């Protein structure tokens, strides 16, 4: 980011304040108000950070008006078409596409660390069998701090940080699959290190000691694409959470665990589960798409069309476009006919021509079609957001690492206080 010669002027109470304008590498401009309070006593107010940049980041470029998404300069379309998830993870975390030797090293390191400590079984047994796997996932990721206490001091050594990165990348699929196995009461499956990242995860999810499960290449390839499409998305709710938790110098595991919890909500990563539940409900209610469109538009009805709308995409979500195509391919290759897909297509068609959705620029987002693919791949609905977390992991890691390397200050927004003015304490008998 460069400071420009331009300044904006703020006129307030007879004074004029010069506000520097800074520019990113894609020419997007921002007012740097970091000194404004010291000069004028004013802060800026922006609930939900709708128009506030929280950081300077070199990881992802996103243009919501044009529907552009690039990781480290490479378009999401090219990466989804050509790369493996681990290759993209390396790119996002370390800034460049790995050379063959670096990729081999990265893969080997991650494969070597896929096992988790046997004591995790004891932790898992403590969860009721109907626990949501996102809660289990975030708890177990935090628990990694207990097994690797050297990770608690991320300031001390970058070798420790690299080790934490590898462990987290390696162990998250194992933890995710074990959370699922625990929920359905099947024996836990150990990682098999002759399989690739996606194949290994699928084997731990769907394999049993009784049967030899061979992951289907169509499923592996679809999963690889889905993970890439979810891998990074700049300063969204969960990533901002990871950065802000990490800014207190909390460990990588603690920060990512917080990100997993932020992702869980239905307005963020939890939307993929909510979409399928919504489509199922519409199907069970006779499949009347128009009825649900009317509910979504009714301001007195809390119902929202899940999987529609996005804070930054006001044209289309490029990830949704790729996923929609992939959903069609996967369903036809696997020979799956899903009536819920027809309802999804019907909803999309009606919404895209309805003035309510058109005027508000509400388009299908990444979660609208991802759930349909996950269903076709046999992933249970309550694991959808866990899949998202596995995909988003490199993004969280890269943003945490960047925040730390930039030496960013602790995150601490201000507020405008709207409560009572100072008043005297009233004793209990006089209230």
Nearer to ligand ACO, 179 or 323 (CB): 323
- Burial state string for 349-377 with b = 16 or more CB within 10 A and e = fewer than 16: eebeebeebeeeebbbbbbbbbbbbbbbb
Instruction: Say which residue the tokens 């996102």 belong to.
Output: 134
Give 387: exposed, middle or buried? Use CB within 10 Å, 0-12, 13-18, 19+. Answer: buried
Contact letters (x/-) for ligand ACO, 34-73, by CB under 6 A?
--------------x-------------------------
Q: Does 308 bind ligand ACO (CB under 6 A)?
A: yes
Q: Which CB atom, from 3 or from 301, has the smaller least distance to ligand ACO?
A: 301
The single residue of 233, 268, 310, 317 carrying the catalytic annotation is 310
Subset of residues 232 to 291 that bind ligand ACO, contact rule: CB under 6 A: 267-269, 271
Name the DSSP class of 364: B
Q: How far is the CB of 43 from ligand ACO (least distance, A)?
A: 21
User: How many residues belong to the site for ligand ACO (CB under 6 A)?
Assistant: 19
Inter-residue contact 168 to 141 (CB < 8 Å): yes
For ligand ACO, the closer CB: 206 or 368? 368
When asked if residue 386 is in the footprint of ligand ACO (CB under 6 A), the reply is: no
Using the rule CB under 6 A, give the single segment among 1-9, 88-96, 172-180, 306-314 that binds ligand ACO: 306-314
Query: In whole angstroms, how close is the CB of 361 to ligand ACO at the nearest point?
Result: 8
- Among the listed residues 23, 117, 132, 311, the single contact to ligand ACO using CB under 6 A: 311
Closer to ligand ACO by CB, 112 or 356: give it.
Answer: 356
SS3 label, residue 4: strand
User: Phi and psi at residue 15, in whole multiples of 5°?
Assistant: -105, 155
Minimum Å gap between C-beta 307 and ligand ACO is 5
Give the residue with the Cβ less far from ligand ACO, 200 or 239. Answer: 239
The interface with ligand ACO within residues 339-378 (CB under 6 A) comprises: 360, 362, 365-367
Q: Label residue 299 exposed, middle or buried (CB < 10 Å: 0-12, 13-18, 19+).
A: exposed
Ramachandran area for residue 67 (φ above 0: left; ψ -120 to 50: alpha; else beta): left
Active-site residue flag, 11: no
Least separation in angstroms between CB 276 and ligand ACO: 12
Q: Is 140 in the site for ligand ACO (CB under 6 A)?
A: no
The one among 80, 140, 227, 296 contacting ligand ACO by CB under 6 A? 296
The verdict on 306 binding ligand ACO (CB under 6 A) reads yes
Tokens of 277: 């539940």
Q: How far is the CB of 269 from ligand ACO (least distance, A)?
A: 5
Residue 356 CB, shortest distance to ligand ACO, in Å, is 7
Question: What is 307-331 written as a DSSP string?
Answer: TB--SS-SS--HHHHHHHHHHHHHH
Position 307 contacts ligand ACO (CB under 6 A): yes
Distance CA 248, CA 141 (A): 18
DSSP 188-251: PPPP-TTS-HHHHHHHHHH-BTTB-----HHHHHHHHHHHHHHS--SS-HHHHHHHHHHTTT--
CA 31 remoteness from chain centre: 27
- Give yes or no: 367 in active site: yes
Calculate the CA dihedral of residues 157, 160, 166, 167 and round it to 10 degrees: -150
Q: Which of 207, 309, 371, 395 binds ligand ACO (CB under 6 A)?
A: 309
- Closest separation in Å from C-beta 431 to ligand ACO: 39
Which residues, at least 6 apart from 335, have a Cβ–Cβ distance to it below 8 Å? none
List, by residue number, the catalytic residues.
310, 367
Which chain residues interact with ligand ACO by CB under 6 A?
A: 48, 267-269, 271, 296, 304-311, 360, 362, 365-367
């Amino acid at each position: 980011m460069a400071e420009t010669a331009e300044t904006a002027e703020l006129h307030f109470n007879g004074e004029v304040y010069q506000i520097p304008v800074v520019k990113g590498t894609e020419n997007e401009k921002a007012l740097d108000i970091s000194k404004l309070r010291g000069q004028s006593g004013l802060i800026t107010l922006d609930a939900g950070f709708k128009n506030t940049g929280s950081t300077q980041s070199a990881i992802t470029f996103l243009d919501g008006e044009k529907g552009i998404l690039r990781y480290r300069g490479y378009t999401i379309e090219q990466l989804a078409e050509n790369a493996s998830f681990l290759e993209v993870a390396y790119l996002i975390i370390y800034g460049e596409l790995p050379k063959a030797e670096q990729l081999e090293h990265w893969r080997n390191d991650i494969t070597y660390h896929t096992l988790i400590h046997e004591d995790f079984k004891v932790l898992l047994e403590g969860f009721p069998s109907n626990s949501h796997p996102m809660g289990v996932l975030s708890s177990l990721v935090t628990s990694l701090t207990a097994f690797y206490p050297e990770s608690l001091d991320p300031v001390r050594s970058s070798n420790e940080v690299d080790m934490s990165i590898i462990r987290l990348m390696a162990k998250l699929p194992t933890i995710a699959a074990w959370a699922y196995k625990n929920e359905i009461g099947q024996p836990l499956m150990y990682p098999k290190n002759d399989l690739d990242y996606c194949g290994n995860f699928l084997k731990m999810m769907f394999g049993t000691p009784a049967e030899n499960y061979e992951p289907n290449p169509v499923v592996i390839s679809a999963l690889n694409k889905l993970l890439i499409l979810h891998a990074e998305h700049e300063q969204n709710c969960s990533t901002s959470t990871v950065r802000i938790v990490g800014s207190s110098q909390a460990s990588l595991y603690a920060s990512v665990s917080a990100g997993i919890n932020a992702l869980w909500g239905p307005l963020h990563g939890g939307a993929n589960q909510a979409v399928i539940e919504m489509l199922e409900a519409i199907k069970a209610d006779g499949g009347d798409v128009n009825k649900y469109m009317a509910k979504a538009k009714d301001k007195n009805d809390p119902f929202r069309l899940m999987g529609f709308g996005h804070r930054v995409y006001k044209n289309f979500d490029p990830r949704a476009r790729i996923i929609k195509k992939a959903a069609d391919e996967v369903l036809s290759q696997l020979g799956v006919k899903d009536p819920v897909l027809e309802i999804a297509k019907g909803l999309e068609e009606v919404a895209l021509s309805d003035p309510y959705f058109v005027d508000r620029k509400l388009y299908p987002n990444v979660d609208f079609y991802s759930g349909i693919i996950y269903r076709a791949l046999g992933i249970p609905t309550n694991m959808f957001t866990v899949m998202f977390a596995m995909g988003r992991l490199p993004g969280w890691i890269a943003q945490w690492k960047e925040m730390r390397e930039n030496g960013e200050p602790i995150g601490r927004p201000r507020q405008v206080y709207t409560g009572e003015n100072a008043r005297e304490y009233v004793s209990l008998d006089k209230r």
